[in-house]
Amino acid sequence: MRILTKPPARTAYSERITQVIAAGDLAAILVKMSDNEDNLGKERTLKDAAFLRERYAASFARLKEAAATLGYTGA
């Protein structure tokens, strides 16, 4: 899925999430939500936990809203 592939040029994480959402591909959004959920898991050890948890939580919320707009109910 090209939508989820990191671009060769350095791009801010929030911008990459914006691009995933803008593509309007529910499957890609759900995959990225799952990735964010995994990164937020308590069993994950993050180098800069506070910053990264905030980033992934904000990203997850944006992705969840976009998924709902596309008809995903979370069921």
- The string of pLDDT tens digits covering residues 8-25 is 899 999 999 999 999 999
**Closest-CA residue to 56 (of 32, 72, 74, 73):** 32
**Assigned domain for 21 exists:** no
**Assigned domain for 44 exists:** yes
Q: State the chain's mean pLDDT as an integer.
A: 91
- Count of beta carbons in the 10 Å neighbourhood of residue 74: 8
Domain that holds residue 52: 32-68
* Phi, then psi, of 54 in degrees rounded to 5: -60, -45
**Assigned domain for 18 exists:** no
Radius of gyration of the chain (CA): 12
Structural domain total, the chain: 1
**Assigned domain for 14 exists:** no
pLDDT tens-digit series, residues 49-59: 888 889 999 99
Residue 1 has pLDDT above 70, yes or no: no
**Assigned domain for 59 exists:** yes
**Residues 17, 62 contacting (CB under 8 angstroms):** yes
More confident residue, 46 or 72: 72
